[in-house]
Amino acid sequence: MTTGRARWRRRMALAASIAMLGAACGIEADTGADDQTARDATDPQDVGAADDAADELDGDPVTIGFIGELSGSFAVWGEPARNGMQMAVEEINAEGGVDGRPLELVARDTEGSPDEAIIAFRELIEQEGVVAAGGIISSDVGLAAARIAEEEQVPLFLVKAGSEAILTQDSRYTFRTCLPAAPMNMQLFAQFIETEDITRVGAIIADYAWGRSIEAAMEDQIGALDVELQIEVAPVPETDFTTYLRRLEGLDPQIIIATGHPPGAGSITRQSADLGFDAFVTASSSPTEAVVGAIGDTAFDRFVDYTCADLGSDDFIDLASRYHERFGSYMEDDAVAGYGQVQMVAEAIREGGSDDPAQIATYLHATSFDLPGYAFPMSWTAWGEMAGATPQLIVLRELEPPEGVNPGAGWFPEVLFESDPLEPFVP
């Protein structure tokens, strides 16, 4: 290890518990993975150590951490993010590493627990010497881990942690990379509603912090448009939304925003179709492969969602084809984000000339990255919010995917709307 690494490797006691703040984002879903699979995936040893190309590199390894959800409700997002990071590590090592040094990926499963995230992140810093970490899905986990990132001055990348409370005016080591803060998320939908001349908007939110945050953003941004807006509030565990949908029948909505009820988005899509609604239903950046598996044909031409990936680009098609060959599944935008996180850290070390985490963070803040498969260049405000993000809305269609991307699937997300740059949320 270099002397720079030695300076920043803190030796602090593990696991001072902090309060669970804010809201989780993303639907709850059972991935079907067994406990042994989860344990194997989160073994603390180097995930990429078996890569033959890395074995030929003789420099000191550069260790990057995955800290995220590999078991429990959020694993359906966490596993693709980890896989994207792993693929980037393997490809960089195959091309000679970072200045002759191999990359290593060390994974820790937070199990969706903020307390576990604190323990895991401190272990990655103190025991593994990571120069950066990424992969976080849950906002609760993001809130906990971001405090450690700022305290320890180690860069931390968020994927789908959308709570606006995660970043503060003083944040300098925490970076969003896919899903923006909830108020920015509603900017995208407001643009779509205005562009499509939609005048009747229904919404179902969950009665918890993420849902209430989306509700406030809808009232502020969509309520300012010349539309009828009706918001229904359901409990978080609700699975039968018939009562709430019937309350919307008089409105006859052209779009139902279910972004504020992540666990219920699939059920709302299916049940609204059963009740005869002719409306798009929006989700909360849900894994498309899981959605199709859960609600089948009902998703087609109806299920609308956010993506940070540029699904129609040659870059994405090439990247997703390699991903399918490597992992045998569709490349969700979580995986695109994970891949990009590793690429940015490697560039920061290579071009910035240091593997010191503080220097990596300085390089990240000073640079705009043109990442493979992304819908927009990656750059940040001083506090780590995405600057100039232009995400896309997609709708699931029954059609053949581009060659190599997801062979035999019979479906593919089609771009429905490309946004103007979103105004960064100011904490």
Give strand ranges (E) for 117-173: 132-136, 156-158
- Measure the CA angle with vertex 213, ends 207 and 248; round to 5°: 60
The pLDDT value given to residue 23? 32
Q: Give the confidence band of 163 by pLDDT, cuts at 50, 70, 90.
A: confident
Query: In this structure, what are the phi and psi dihedrals at residue 322, rounded to the nearest 5 degrees?
Result: -65, -40
Q: pTM for the complete prediction? A: 0.86
Question: Cα(28)–Cα(246) distance, rounded to whole angstroms?
Answer: 24
The pLDDT value given to residue 52? 57
What H or E segment, with its residue span, contains residue 240? none
Instruction: Give per-residue pLDDT as tens, 166-210.
Output: 999 999 999 999 999 989 999 999 999 999 999 999 999 998 777
Question: Cα(21)–Cα(61) distance, rounded to whole angstroms?
Answer: 35
Domains of the chain: 3-179+314-366 (3.40.50.2300), 182-309+392-418 (3.40.50.2300)
Distance set, CA 302 to CA 247, 270, 296, 312, 389 (Å): 20, 9, 11, 19, 25
CB 64 within 8 A of CB 130: yes
**Segment 291-319 mean pLDDT:** 95
**Segment 209-234 mean pLDDT:** 93
Instruction: Give per-residue pLDDT as tens, 228-265.
Output: 999 999 998 899 999 999 999 999 999 999 999 988 89
What H or E segment, with its residue span, contains residue 69? none
Q: What share of the chain is helix, strand, coil (3-state, %, to 5)?
A: 40, 15, 45
Instruction: Give per-residue pLDDT as tens, 36-82.
Output: 333 334 343 344 443 455 567 888 999 999 999 999 878 899 999 99
The pLDDT value given to residue 15? 28
Answer yes or no: is pLDDT of 388 > 80.
yes
Please give the mean pLDDT across all residues of the chain: 88
The one-character DSSP state at 102 is P
The residue among 189, 94, 89 whose CA lies nearest residue 135 is: 89
